[in-house]
Structure 1
Amino acid sequence: MRLDRPKLFMAVVDCHSITAASREVHLAQPALSKHMRALEDEMGIALFERTVRGVALTKAGERLYERGTALLRRVEQIHQEVIDTGESMVGDVSIAIAASLSPVLSGYLFWKTRSAHPGINLRTRDSHAVMTSNLVRSGAIDVALLPNVAALDHVRSFPLVSQKFYLVGREFPDSIGATIEFRDLRRFPLVMGTRNNHFRVSLETIAIGENQPLNILVEQESIPVYRSIILSGPAYTVVPYSAFA
Structure 2
Amino acid sequence: MEMKQLIAMVTVAEAGSVTYAAQMLHIVQPAVTRQIKTLEDELGVVLFDRTRHGMVLTSAGEVFLSHARRALQELERARTELTPQTGEITGPVSVGVLESLLDVIVPPLASSVAARFPGVELRVMSGFSGYLQNWLDDGVVDIAVLYNLADTPAMRVKPLLSERLWAVAPADAGLVPTEDVTWHRVLSRALILPIVGHGLRTLIDRARSDIPIEPKISLETNSMSVQKQMVLAGRGWTILPGAGVARDVEEGKFSAAPLAEPSLSRSVVVGLQRATRISRAVRAVNSELFRVSRDLVNSGTWPSATLLDTPTH
TM, length-normalised to structure 2? 0.65
* Contact 2:192–2:235 under 8 Å retained in 1: no
CA distance in 1: counterparts of 2:107 and 2:8, whole angstroms: 28
Deviates more, 1:160-169 or 1:56-65: 56-65
Larger relative contact order (CA 8 Å, sep ≥ 6): 2
In 2, the alpha carbon distance for the partners of 1:216 and 1:48 equals 40
What's the CA shift for 1:171? 5.3
Q: List structure 1 segments (4+ residues) > 6 angstroms apart after TM superposition.
A: none
User: 1-side partners of 2:227 and 2:18: how far apart?
Assistant: 28
Question: Amino acid of the residue matched to residue 227 of structure 2?
Answer: Y
Alpha carbons of 1:19 and 1:152: their partners in 2 closer, same or farther (altered >3 Å)? farther
* Aligned amino acid, residue 98 of structure 1: L
Say if 1:39 and 1:236 are closer, same or farther in 2 by CA, change over 3 A: farther
> More strand by proportion, 1 or 2?
2
Decide whether the 8 Å contact of 1:70 with 1:141 is kept in 2: no
Give the structure 2 partner of residue 142 of structure 1. 142
Q: Return 55-64 or 82-91, whichever deviates more.
A: 55-64
SS of the equivalent of 1:162 reads: strand
> Residues 61, 121 of structure 1: CA spacing in aligned structure 2 closer, same or farther, 3 A cutoff?
same
Give the structure 1 partner of residue 71 of structure 2. 71
Amino acid at match of 2:182: E
Give the paired residue count: 244
In the alignment, what sits opposite 2:116?
Answer: 116
Map of 2:243 onto structure 1? 242
The answer to whether the Cα contact below 8 Å between 2:101 and 2:244 also exists between their aligned partners in 1 is: yes
Q: Which runs of 5+ in 1 are unaligned?
A: none
CA RMSD between the two structures:
3.1
Partner of 1:180: 181
Q: How does 1:152-171 map to 2 (within 5 A)?
A: 154-170=154-170
Structure 2 matches for 1:57-96, cutoff 5 A? 57-96=57-96
Alpha-carbon distance between aligned partners in 2 of 1:194 and 1:49, rounded to the nearest angstrom: 31
C-alpha contact (below 8 Å) 2:191/2:216 kept by paired residues: yes
Match of 2:198 in 1: 197
The Cα shift of 1:98 comes to: 0.7
> How far does residue 211 in structure 1 lie from its aligned partner after superposition?
5.2
Q: Which moved more, 1:162-171 or 1:52-61?
A: 52-61
Give CA-to-partner distance per residue, 1:205-244, whole Å, 9 cap, x none: 2233445444443333333333333323423321112223
AA of the residue aligned to 1:146:
L
- Structure 2 unaligned residues grouped into runs of 5+: 248-313
1:221 aligns with 2:222: yes
Distance 1:48 1:191 in 2: 38
Deviation at 1:97, TM superposition (A): 0.7
